Chain A
Amino acid sequence: MTKIELDHVTKEYGSLVAVDDIAIEFTEGAYTMILGPSGCGKSTTLRMIAGLETPTRGDVLIDGEVVTDQPPRHRNLSMVFQSLALWNHKSVRENMGFGLQMEGVDKEERNARIEEIAAVLQIEDKLDQPPSELSGGQQQRVALGRSLVRKPEVILLDEPLSSLDEKLRLEMRTELARIQQELGTTFVHVTHNQEDAMTIADEILLLNEGEVQQFGPSLDLYHEPDNEFVADFIGSPSINLFDANIVENGAVRLDAGGISLDLPERHRDQYLSVPRSDVRVGVRPESMYLGDDGESGWPAFSATVDVVETFGDYNWYYLQSDLEESLVSQSANVNVMNSLSRGDEVTVRVNPESVHLFDPKSGEAYF
């Protein structure tokens, strides 16, 4: 297995800082997603690992060895491109065998290995066609096969799912996760899709404007976001965010202007330890319980259902309250789903254990 390390890597294009001082050690043999909005530097980061871009400052290390100035061919890695970058003047077999040929593997063994991988990817009957004659999903498999056949230590994937239609995307997503688990190869996958990242990644590196926002196991980013950006970017629908003041009036209360949330006594010290009284509050949609749902001791307020979006096994409820911001709640409770519809007045209970507080200036998380 191979360890990839970015040692304070910065990439500048003229005055534009694409990647700003990233210092990360990717976990060996893990499926890592580099996630972020477009223009956040995620592709540039991947291309620096591949050796297709040279950092302005800092070093890329593979297995402890500095490879910053090494060309891609000396890094024992492979890459699946967003455009797939298949060579249509070559057959599928030649596409897949190119890397082995470069390594000097003889034709017989080359064919054996191509056919082995082609069987795994279910493209063994397409080997002698040019890639242009294949469907989108099959081309995707060829591109992946070209990377897998060399059994590299690291496979880099640059938005490989973005060109596929929804159904195929979900299929390929699962397949990528399965292949990665089977082979134990380190996968570093760039995506702007937080759902792809959450569902299959072992760990996520979330970037914004070239800077690391958070790096860690996927669920950590969901449950313990380091800052407001992470909380907002991860999760669908997005986390509810609003301004509030911490008020001590016998009990501790979050006063958001229109609504007040009285917090249980056991949270008293935690809230009073926050260095300032004005805070940014974040509550995940599934932590907002509607009607009879939730526990009676939880802080509550009333709201009106504005829009209901149905997904079958759960609903999204968009709520208007005395807050300026529209709130959203996700409920899978059958009673709620059967009884609540547009225009209804409803009690909203907030699970106090899952309230996030952020510094309103820096966005850093208090808890």
Chain B
Amino acid sequence: MSANYTTRRRAVTGLRFGLLAVALVVFLFPFYWMFKTSVEPTDAVYGDVGLLPGGFTFTHYEQAFSVGFHESVINSLIVAIGTTVLTTVVALIGAFSILRYRYPGRGGAAKLVLLTYMFPHVALIVPVFYLAAQVGLLSSPIMLIAMHTMLALPFCMWILMAFLEDIPRELEEAALVEGASELGAFARITVPLSYPGIIAAGTFAFIMSWGEYMFAFVLMRESASHTVPVALHQLLGAYAIDWGLLAAVSIIATVPVLALFWLMAKYLGEGIAKGTGVV
């Protein structure tokens, strides 16, 4: 190889890393700014603009607790975990049924699931609010979990169908022949083999539910029932905006999602690549 070629390859590699670095800065800068704002004293926020924090304080975090923001974190955790479990279980059973069994309306069911994904959700606000009020589930996590499951289900089923499709039927049949029931074969063979898909679907459902604002705002009327996005919005005062407090609660709102992502990163790539057909 000529020296020229080697130099060119190095230049290309350098350029790649350079572009990646620029992209990272663009993506991460808002997060850095949020962090910076959350730890500097209020007067520094309104002072000269600088890249480094103008001082260091935990006041805003203490303030977040004193306004009860941690309660909304707990509400959100309840809703998000409920949504994740319900979505994953329903999506797994649904995907398995559509792929493995032949019955009338099977193809229609698969299309209907995708259709709900296309449906403008705003149009559901009034009927859902009315329904929740009628059955007395306003401000109850149950109604919100149901709504979030509806929102997350199509994509999660999509991911899981792509996964289950790749599991040869013979692996389940081998279990049937060795003495397992249909359900036993599903639980002992199919489910463990689709863990990456289940984790990808679950993570998607969790993140979707954690950040969902519209239905949470409409359904969770009492302030004690507010989830993180709603509580966050309530902190935008009508006359004065406490930037430090807002930044601090935003950081708090981000932490669970980041932690989940960090734990699941290994499986997420495979799961999403398979679910969307991008490999």
Contact = CB atoms under 8 A, between A and B. Distances in A.
Contact of A71 (B171, B174, B176, B189): B176
Contacts of B179: 73, 98-99, 102-103, 150
Q: Tell me which of B174, B175, B180 has the highest count of chain A C-beta atoms within 10 A of its own C-beta.
A: B174
A307 interface: no
Interface in B157-195: 168, 170-171, 173-182, 184, 188-189, 192-193
A87 to B, nearest CB: 6
Given A81-B174, A85-B174, A87-B189, A102 B168 contact: no
A89 B193 contact: yes
B170 A146 contact: no
B123 to A, nearest CB: 41
Chain B: number of interface residues, binned into ranges: 10 to 19
Contacts of B174: 79, 81, 85-87, 146
A85 B180 contact: no
Q: Tell me which of A50, A77, A82, A102 has the highest count of chain B C-beta atoms within 10 A of its own C-beta.
A: A102
A88 to B, nearest CB: 8
B180 to A, nearest CB: 6
A72 B177 contact: yes
Contacts of B180: 73, 98, 102
Contacts of B192: 89
A78 B171 contact: no
Given A87-B189, A89-B192, A89-B193, A72 B170 contact: no
Interface residues of A, number: 23
A52 interface: yes
B170 to A, nearest CB: 4
Nearest to B173: A52
Contacts of A102: 178-180, 184
A83 interface: yes
Nearest to B174: A85
A83 B170 contact: yes
A81 B170 contact: yes
Contacts of B178: 73, 78, 98-99, 102, 146, 150
Contacts of B168: 83, 85
A156 B177 CA distance: 10
Contacts of B173: 50, 52, 72, 79, 81, 85
Nearest to A104: B179
Interface string A38-74: 0000000000001110000000000000000001110
Contact of A73 (B171, B176, B188, B189): B176
Contacts of A85: 168, 170-171, 173-174
Contacts of A81: 170, 173-174
Given A89-B192, A89-B193, A98-B175, A71 B181 contact: yes
Nearest to A143: B174
Given A89-B192, A89-B193, A52 B177 contact: yes
Contacts of B175: 87, 98
A79 B184 contact: no
B266 to A, nearest CB: 16
A99 to B, nearest CB: 4
Interface string B63-94: 00000000000000000000000000000000
Contact of B177 (A78, A82, A86, A87): A78
Nearest to A75: B177
Contacts of A78: 177-178
B70 to A, nearest CB: 39
A86 B182 CA distance: 17
Contacts of B170: 81-83, 85
Contacts of A87: 171, 174-175, 189, 193
B62 to A, nearest CB: 48
A156 B173 CA distance: 13
B171 A79 contact: no
Contacts of B182: 71
Contacts of B171: 85, 87
A52 B193 contact: no
A78 B174 CA distance: 8
Contacts of A83: 168, 170
B251 to A, nearest CB: 39
Q: Tell me which of A51, A89, A103 has the highest count of chain B C-beta atoms within 10 A of its own C-beta.
A: A89
A187 to B, nearest CB: 15
A87 B174 CA distance: 9
Contacts of A98: 175, 178-180, 188
Interface in A79-110: 79, 81-83, 85-87, 89, 98-99, 102-103
A141 B180 CA distance: 22
A22 B180 CA distance: 29
Given A87-B189, A89-B192, A89-B193, A72 B176 contact: yes
B171 to A, nearest CB: 5
A72 B176 CA distance: 6
B153 to A, nearest CB: 26
Contacts of B193: 87, 89
B126 to A, nearest CB: 47
B262 to A, nearest CB: 24
Nearest to A82: B170
Nearest 5 Cβ contacts at the A-B interface:
A102-B179, A99-B178, A85-B174, A85-B170, A79-B177
Given A73-B178, A102-B178, 8 more contacts: A50-B173, A52-B176, A71-B182, A72-B177, A73-B177, A81-B174, A87-B171, A102-B184
9 contacts: A51-B176, A52-B173, A52-B177, A71-B176, A73-B178, A79-B177, A85-B171, A102-B180, A156-B177
Interface of B: 168, 170-171, 173-182, 184, 188-189, 192-193
